Amino acid sequence: QVQLVESGGGLVQPGGSLRLSCSASGTIGSIFSTYSMGWYRQAPGRQRELVARITSGGSTNYADSVKGRFTISRDNAKNTVYLAMNSLKPEDTAVYYCNAARAGGYSYWGQGTQVTVSS
């Protein structure tokens, strides 16, 4: 069993900041560092999309819409991945999901955390 629990979402004004966290537990715990970790988001009426991803080696990639504003990082000692979000825009409003994946078809999702950017 693998559990991914997101936290840190909420309501923020445009231009504000939030930091999301995703803590992994269960059988992933001892091999968390071998997983590629990602943040995805899904807005109402839209498909889930990749926001940012960090590989086991620390390489990162971002959606064009968040480059320069969002930063993904991981702390393997804490089995946690973070998403620092700055200069938030109303179009960033969505449910944000954490994903853990590795070769062999292993892919796990968290339950999501709501981020709302509104004045």
Phi, psi (rounded to 5 degrees) for 22: -135, 115
Q: List pLDDT tens digits, range 30-40.
A: 889 999 999 99
Mean pLDDT to the nearest integer, 57-74: 97
Residue 42, pLDDT > 90, answer yes
Mean pLDDT to the nearest integer, 39-49: 97
Count of CB atoms within 10 A of residue 61's CB? 12
First to last CA, the chain: 40
Read off the tokens for 110. 């968290």
Quote the pLDDT of residue 6: 97
How far, in Å, CA of 24 to CA of 99, rounded?
A: 10
Mean pLDDT to the nearest integer, 44-71: 97
